[in-house]
Amino acid sequence: MIYTVTLSPSIDYIVRLSNMRFNVTNRTDSEEFYFGGKGLNVSQVLAELDLDSTALGFIAGFTGDAIEKGIKNSRIRTDFIRLSEGFTRINIKIKAGGETEVNGQGPDIPEEALEALMKKLDAIRDGDTLVLAGSIPKTCPDDVYERMLERVKDRDIMIVVDATKQLLVNSLACHPFVIKPNRLELSEIFHAEVETDKDVEKYARKLQEMGARNVIVSLGRKGAFLLDENGETHTCGVLKQPVLNTVGAGDSMVAGFIAGYQKTGDYGYALKLGSACGNATSFLPGLATREKIDEVLAKL
């Protein structure tokens, strides 16, 4: 079983209008909403790839109800901690020429709720996969990922960490199976300019020396780079199609990489499928669909 953890899920409410004026009433040209949060995105794309997962995290209020109902399907089992106060956050994304975001804070997470989540990790067994994805709510302790990894350290599981800065660095002592920084995050971690392909490989190897088994670096329009645990490097490009959406593209890549590796054990194919999923999401208003993934995969 694959377990995904989303500590701060959201409903992403997207509004589109030709122009945005302040201090007056604006009316949208169109609007849509998606159930968001990095771990939930991974679960949803895994479902498109015919893989089952259990979604863990916190929900609250009517928005939490909507998320639980909205993402559950035959491939996704939800096992959230329900908080008694507050409501799951709503993120507003205004697309009017450019893009403006207003992200909600989400509910407070008390220590007893956090401990309840830790206990759910005890269901994870040898051979399972645990995906820790995204930032942590401000009411969670800074070491929450480390506490989760400490809880499962004696089990033979595949750990995937998609986080930024110190959250990512602190996870490396647990030797995660794969991590996925982007070029900017490499620069932030090492306080260095990461510009060339040699730079990317250099700092990916440093992350491997610090504990990561496999390191994917997403490079935006230049595609993606993988340093696998055998020391081999792999690259995959992107298709030149209009980009409609960047939200969830990285999460889609993570899902595709997990699926590709679990199905074949081949790192090159895993990166290719991950790249296809990331591309597919960027070409759609929402997350990648199986139809779009297959279309992109055939062309990469």
The total of other beta-carbon atoms located within 10 Å of residue 165's CB is 12
79 flagged as catalytic: no
Exactly one of 79, 128, 251, 266 is catalytic; name it.
251
Scored b (16 or more CB within 10 A) or e, 32-61 reads ebbbbbbbbbbbbbbbbbebebbbbbbbbb
Q: Cα separation of 210 and 134, whole Å?
A: 21
Torsion of CA 168, 172, 175, 179, to 10 degrees: 30
Handedness of CA 282, 284, 285, 291 (dihedral sign): negative
Six-digit token pair at 99? 């893009």
Instruction: Measure the CA–CA gap between 218 and 261, rounded to whole angstroms.
Output: 17
Max CA-CA distance within the chain? 59
Active site residues: 251
